[in-house]
Structure 1
Amino acid sequence: MDAFQDVRDRLSIQFEFVWRQIREPLIVPLLRIAVFLCLGMSLMMLVERVYMGIVICLVKLLGKKPEKRYKYETFKEDVELGNSNYPMVLIQVPMYNEREVYQLSIGAACGLSWPSHRIIVQILDDSTDPTIKELVQVECLRWRSKGVNIKYEVRDNRNGYKAGALKEGMKHSYVKQCDYVAIFDADFQPQPDFLCQTIPFLVNNSEIGLVQARWKFAVAYGKFMENLGLKSR
């Protein structure tokens, strides 16, 4: 037993001696490399921020707004035709169990500033929860009673998921009378003048086939962090 203990002590001493010999030439260079890598990455981030700042300033100072780059004329009611000169627009809103936002989304789509007889709001409900499905349908009926041309569409499968729902929605006969299509996600809340700001670009510029608007998040950063449980107390 004493012999075994003696051997173990000798091995420990030898390992400690070897470690002391290689610690400085091995660890120190690795630490230096790590420090230089961190400094290099920090410098790259600084250069990127400075570059982006310069680009943003140049765009603000020299860049042209879309209204100046492309032909842009707002729609006005015609004396003879009234607002029949407005193009027919289809609004597609795909949904899937959107209990928290369905009312806001449908309300925003139905509240767009556009002649009521020149717009169709299409709610594509793929919800699997019967309760939510009923709530969405009731909300659509409520807006229909206010004179909004809103369609509540469901299907017996979820093939293609959201893209499949949008594609299926385009197969309805009433879609053929529409000139343009606007797609809003279930949690989107477009401003009332969204169509008035975007459709003129499509009407007056034949080379433009798609207009994408800027996104803003309704949930503030602090609220987002609070929801994640990361907000300081």
Structure 2
Amino acid sequence: MDALQGGSQSGLFYSRFFRRRPEKRWKWEAIKDDVELGNSSYPMVLVQIPMYNEKEVYQLSIGAACGLSWPSDRIIIQVLDDSTDPLIKDLVEVEVQRWASQRNKHKCDYVAIFDADFQPEPDFLWRTVPFLLHNPDIALVQARWKFVNADECLMTRMQEMSLDYHFTVEQEVGSAFIAFFGFNGTQLECGESTALDEAGGWKDRTTVEDMGFSCPG
């Protein structure tokens, strides 16, 4: 681990000091309204929230997903509840019905996945979808994690430090050197839903969908 961290830190220093960046800069432009096409000019987005006995956070997570700023007829939200506790399953079902509304059921262009204990900011899709919309070579966009209870105790602080290192050092070095890295499932924007199909889709035999998608087959 020390050798790996040392290499990552050296790579980060080299990347920042010499301003090394990917040779190809990805295009980003804000999505603009189209008077003629209306909401149909926006990509269809599927938001998935995997859950398993998430009694403490299910309301926050569902509420945050439903609070995403995006045309209501261009987004579908799926709560994938595999809870084994009947009481929790009932609670989740009630919350889903409370937020339920008529959604357009067309095939989705992009998929966003959030772990049950993550709450995206309302503008998450506005910030990430343009990367996928304007760069057909991109299959996914990895977003940064934030933590709502980092200061709760020493353990949560240590966990935050560990994950911050992963995102600010390891992931940044991998991006700067255009090197492969496995994505982290939560706060993920999977571009082109066909990329999921070509990778074999989600495997129901595993609970770590991010690892399964990073290493298909």
> Shorter-chain TM-score category?
0.5 to 0.7
Measured in 2, the distance between the counterparts of 1:60 and 1:106 equals: 38
Which whole-Å CA distance do the structure 2 matches of 1:227 and 1:55 have between them? 25
Name segments (4+ residues, structure 1) moved above 6 Å.
none
**For residue 130 of structure 1, what is the amino acid of its counterpart?**
P
Say if 2:27 and 2:135, in contact at 8 Å, map to a contact too. Answer: yes
Q: 1:79 aligns with which of 17, 26, 35?
A: 35
Tell me the residue number matched to 1:177: 107
- Deviation string for 1:62-99 (max 9, x for gaps)? 14599x81111111111222232110011111111100
Alignment of 1:116-195 (within 5 A): 116-144=72-100, 147=101, 149=103, 174=105, 177-195=107-125
Aligned match of 1:154? none
Q: Tell me whether 106-115 or 54-63 shows the greater mean CA deviation.
A: 54-63
Change beyond 3 A, Cα 1:148–1:215: farther
Q: How does 1:3-152 map to 2 (within 5 A)?
A: 55-60=11-16, 62-64=19-21, 69-144=25-100, 147=101, 149=103
1:59 CA displacement:
3.6
Please name the residue that 1:214 is paired with.
144
Separation in structure 2 between the aligned mates of residue 65 and residue 226 of structure 1, nearest angstrom = 34
Q: Say whether the 8 Å CA contact 1:76–1:83 is kept in structure 2.
A: no
8 Å CA contact 1:110–1:148 kept in 2: the answer is no
Q: In proportion to residue count, which structure has more helix?
A: 1
CA contact (8 A) 1:75 1:200 kept: yes
Q: 1:226 to 1:212 in 2, by over 3 A?
A: closer
Deviation at 1:222, TM superposition (A): 4.7
| Residue 225 of structure 1 pairs with residue 158 of structure 2 | no
Superposition CA RMSD, Å: 3.2
Say which SS state the counterpart of residue 84 (structure 1) adopts. Answer: helix
Structure 2, unpaired ranges of 5+: 159-217
In structure 1, the partner of 2:135 is: 205
In our comparison, the structure showing a higher alpha carbon Rg is 1
The total of aligned residue pairs comes to: 157
The amino acid that maps onto 1:135 is L
Could you tell me how far 1:226 is from its partner in structure 2? 8.0
Q: In the alignment, is the contact (CA less than 8 A) between 2:150 and 2:156 conserved in 1? A: no
Q: Under a length normalisation based on structure 2, what TM-score does the superposition of the two structures give?
A: 0.62
Q: C-alpha displacement at 1:217, in angstroms?
A: 2.1
Bigger shift: residues 182-191 or 51-60: 51-60
Compute the displacement of 1:140 (Å). Answer: 0.9
Q: Separation in 2 of the partners of 1:200 and 1:135?
A: 35
1:128, CA displacement in angstroms? 1.3
CA deviation after TM superposition for structure 1 residue 202, in Å:
1.2
Is 2:72–2:103's contact at 8 Å kept on the other side of the alignment? yes
Contact 2:58 2:92 in 1 (8 A): yes
Q: Structure 1 length normalisation: TM-score? A: 0.58
